């Protein structure tokens, strides 16, 4: 059932066979999957997609796998929520939250890319899978590897949230933390991939892995009734998801599944790790690496592999990008939780905080249909906000004590009996 024909270098166009390869031998450009769009156009329709289970495999013709997948049977197809209360508060009527806080099974967008990468790893016959991760990728690889019955090694920088360490080790994965930042981890993992021959989902399986991110965009279009929004705000870490959402929209147009619409695609980074936004604001293609320092650890990548393609996709779409300070990120996490009942991790706070800035700048207009990407769950990053919420009140198990507390809390105006 495969519709992939080859891998191709994004820079020089050289063709490669469909194997665990990721860089071009001649120019070191990244390799990308090539599909037979003519056959996909003939095979795929709204009706066929809508008849399938509510998971990311409903778009399987546009994903780089050969066989009927059984990894990630419940991954993807997360809610697109019309955020009416948040929208009223910030002044956008058609505001939508694409909610990957409830992605199955590890509560982040990474369940998409990993479902595809591990399916491909099995098809290539690997017995050990691995990754260089800022945390969410780790938990996704560990969980999906467990279900696939594969051995799993996880590499993370020291200092990641404990939820991400425990949340990986629980699945039986070996967790190794590295004294250094994500970019140090990534460099080491490239060496290990070469020497040990493991499937590193985001290194030697990267061309396949990254394609899984398109499903975020496919779902937005389908959930808006096969229409594209006016603006989408997307967080940028290594730079996978943003260009792949742009690609998803383009593919749907090319094969005739959506008409018109040219969404502005906006990038969001944390101020403590914003190399792509700095380059965007300077008007250059040159991304100067930074040393990350932010509570948004899952998107703290100082030297993003695909940052260049983020700049290209943002500019081509007429979008923009902004950064948010840690304080703005925490405020946005609280705003989303208070208005919509969604608890995002700092990456989600970043996208919402940036949405507010773009709105204030007039880059997003109040009458637009706007999608804010919430890519990870706050339950994994309690450290980031535990000091920013009201601490619990402690009383004895006596009604008098509660009466006194309630009077204090309600400013002494109302007493028991009145609701």
Ligand X SMILES: *Cc1c(COP(=O)(O)O)cnc(C)c1O
The CB-of-4 to ligand X minimum distance in angstroms stands at 21
- The least CB distance from residue 304 to ligand X, in Å, is 7
Residues in region 121-180 near ligand X by CB under 6 A: 136
C-beta closer to ligand X: residue 76 or 376? 376
Per CB under 5 A, the segment of 8-16, 101-109, 212-220, 229-237 that binds Zn ion is 8-16
- One residue of 78, 106, 108, 215 binding ligand X per CB under 6 A: 108
Q: Which of 240, 294, 355, 369 binds ligand X (CB under 6 A)?
A: 240
Residue 117 interacts with ligand X (CB under 6 A)?
Answer: no
In the list 4, 21, 23, 29, the residue contacting Zn ion (rule: CB under 5 A) is 29
Q: What are phi and psi of 185, to 5 degrees?
A: -60, -45
Residue 111 to residues 235, 320, 379: CA-CA distances in angstroms?
A: 16, 27, 16
Strand order through the sheet with 321-324: 80-82, 94-99, 369-374, 231-235, 264-270, 321-324
Q: How far is the CB of 305 from ligand X (least distance, A)?
A: 8
136 interacts with, out of ligand X, Zn ion, none, CB within 5 to 8 A per kind? ligand X
CA distance 248 to 321: 20
24 contact choice in Zn ion, ligand X, none (CB below 5 to 8 Å, kind-dependent): Zn ion
| Positive/negative CA dihedral, 359, 354, 209, 286 | positive
347 binds, among Zn ion, ligand X, none (CB under 5 to 8 A by kind): ligand X
For every residue of 212-230, DSSP letters joined together read TTHHHHHHHHHHTTS---S
Q: Are 189 and 200 in contact (CB under 8 A)?
A: yes
Count the Cβ atoms, other than its own, within 10 Å of residue 230: 16
CB of 6 to ligand X, least distance (A): 24
Instruction: Indicate whether 347 belongs to the interface with ligand X (CB under 6 A).
Output: yes
Cβ proximity to Zn ion, 11 vs 367, nearer residue: 11
Cross-strand bridge partners of residue 176 = 155
Say if CB 111 and CB 55 are below 8 A apart.
no
Q: Does 7 engage in binding with Zn ion (CB under 5 A)?
A: no
Angle (CA) 144 196 33, round 5°: 60
Chosen from ligand X, Zn ion, none, partner binding at 236 (C-beta under 5 to 8 Å by type) = ligand X
Q: Which does 9 bind (CB under 5 to 8 A by kind): Zn ion, ligand X, none?
A: Zn ion
**What is the rounded distance in angstroms from the CA atom of residue 142 to the CA atom of residue 162?**
15
Spatial neighbors of 363 by CB under 8 A, at least 6 apart, are 264, 266, 319, 320
Stretch that binds Zn ion, among 20-28, 137-145, 185-193, 315-323 (CB under 5 A): 20-28
- Nearest C-alpha neighbor of 219 from the set 140, 306, 102: 102
User: Rounded to whole angstroms, what are the CA distances from 230 to 151, 249, 364?
Assistant: 43, 12, 9
Contact with ligand X (CB under 6 A) among 212, 239, 263, 349: 239
Query: Which residue intervals of 255-387 are DSSP H helices?
Result: 275-282, 307-317, 326-340, 346-360
Query: Which entry of ligand X, Zn ion, none binds 27, CB below 5 to 8 A by partner kind?
Result: Zn ion
Please tell me the distance from the alpha carbon of residue 412 to that of residue 400, in angstroms, as a whole number: 14
Closer by beta carbon to ligand X, 92 or else 347: 347
- Determine which residue in the list 55, 168, 204, 298 makes contact with ligand X, applying CB under 6 A: 298
Taking the C-alpha atoms of residue 69 and residue 231, their distance in angstroms, rounded to an integer, is: 32
Residue nearest to ligand X (CB): 376
Residue 243 beta carbon to ligand X: minimum distance, rounded to whole angstroms: 9
What's the min distance (Å) between Cβ of 406 and ligand X? 39
Residues forming the site for Zn ion (CB under 5 A): 9, 11-12, 14, 24, 27, 29
Residues forming the site for ligand X (CB under 6 A): 108-110, 136, 235-241, 298-299, 345, 347, 375-376
């Amino acid at each position: 059932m495969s519709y992939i024909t080859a891998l191709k270098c994004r820079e020089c166009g050289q063709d490669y066979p469909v194997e665990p390869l990721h860089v071009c031998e001649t120019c070191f450009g990244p390799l990308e999957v090539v599909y037979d769009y003519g056959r996909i156009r003939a095979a795929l329709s709204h009706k066929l997609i809508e008849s399938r289970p509510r998971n990311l495999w409903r778009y399987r013709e546009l994903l780089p796998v050969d066989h009927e997948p059984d990894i990630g049977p419940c991954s993807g197809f997360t809610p697109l929520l019309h955020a009416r209360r948040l929208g009223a508060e910030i002044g956008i009527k058609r505001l939508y939250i694409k909610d990957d806080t409830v992605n199955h099974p590890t509560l982040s967008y990474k369940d998409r890319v990993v479902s595809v990468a591990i399916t491909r790893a099995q098809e290539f016959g690997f017995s050990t899978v691995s990754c260089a991760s800022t945390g969410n990728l780790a938990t996704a690889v560990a969980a999906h590897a467990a279900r696939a019955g594969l051995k799993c090694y996880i590499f993370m920088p020291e200092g990641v949230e404990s939820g991400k360490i425990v949340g990986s080790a629980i699945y039986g994965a070996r967790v190794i933390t590295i004294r250094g930042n994500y970019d140090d981890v990534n460099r080491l993992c490239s060496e290990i991939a070469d020497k040990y021959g493991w499937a590193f989902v985001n290194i030697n399986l990267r061309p396949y892995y990254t394609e899984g991110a398109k499903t975020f965009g496919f779902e937005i279009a389908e959930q808006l009734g096969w229409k594209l929004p006016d603006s989408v705000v997307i967080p940028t870490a290594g730079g996978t998801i943003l260009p792949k959402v742009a690609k998803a929209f383009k593919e749907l147009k090319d094969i005739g599944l959506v008409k018109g619409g040219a969404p502005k695609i906006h990038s969001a980074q944390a101020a403590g790790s914003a190399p792509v936004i700095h380059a965007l604001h300077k008007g250059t293609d040159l991304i100067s690496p930074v040393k990350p320092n932010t509570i948004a650890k899952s998107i703290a990548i100082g030297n993003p592999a695909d940052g260049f393609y983020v700049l290209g996709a943002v500019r081509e779409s007429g979008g923009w990008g902004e950064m948010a300070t840690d304080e703005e990120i925490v405020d946005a996490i609280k705003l989303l939780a208070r208005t919509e009942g969604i608890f995002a991790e700092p990456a989600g706070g970043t996208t919402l905080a940036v949405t507010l800035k773009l709105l204030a700048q007039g880059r997003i207009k109040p009458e637009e249909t706007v999608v804010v990407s919430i890519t990870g769950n706050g339950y994994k990053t309690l450290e980031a906000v535990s000091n920013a919420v009201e601490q619990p009140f402690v009383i004895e198990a006596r009604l008098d004590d509660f009466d006194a507390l309630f009077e204090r809390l309600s400013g002494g105006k109302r007493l028991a009996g009145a609701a």
